[in-house]
Amino acid sequence: MVKLYALFLKPESPDDFTRHVETVLVPLLKQVEDLRHLAVTRIDGAPLGEAKYSLVVELGFENRKAMDAALASKEGKAVARDLLKSAGDRVTLMIGDALL
């Protein structure tokens, strides 16, 4: 499985951003074809103090080809537009192959 991670830095208004993720971003993500896994995790802290990030979104796809097609779709582009609008300067994206 190929995973796409979106790590969000702390926003100015955490409650508003969480509400946006729940009411806008997650419904958009659920429309993305071939999405096999979706997890949204609020970060409460780090082992040695305060965490840099406030939220992690994890998406899973069968393989890289399926992920690339999904992200290039109309629904995938809608997600990208929303990310840029709501958190463009506060989000880091990473892609990885799940080992287990």
What is the predicted pLDDT for the residue at 72? 98
Rg (CA), the chain: 14
For every residue of 31-62, DSSP letters joined together read TSTTEEEEEEEE---BTTB--SEEEEEEEEES
Q: What is the CATH number of the domain that holds 50?
A: 3.30.70.100
Q: What is the mean pLDDT of residues 16-29?
A: 96
The total number of structural domains that make up the chain: 1
pLDDT tens-place string over residues 65-99: 999 999 999 999 999 999 999 999 999 999 999 99
How does residue 35 score in pLDDT terms, banded at 50, 70 and 90?
Answer: very high
Domain ranges, residue 60: 2-97
pLDDT at 49 over 90: no
Q: What is the mean pLDDT of residues 33-42?
A: 97
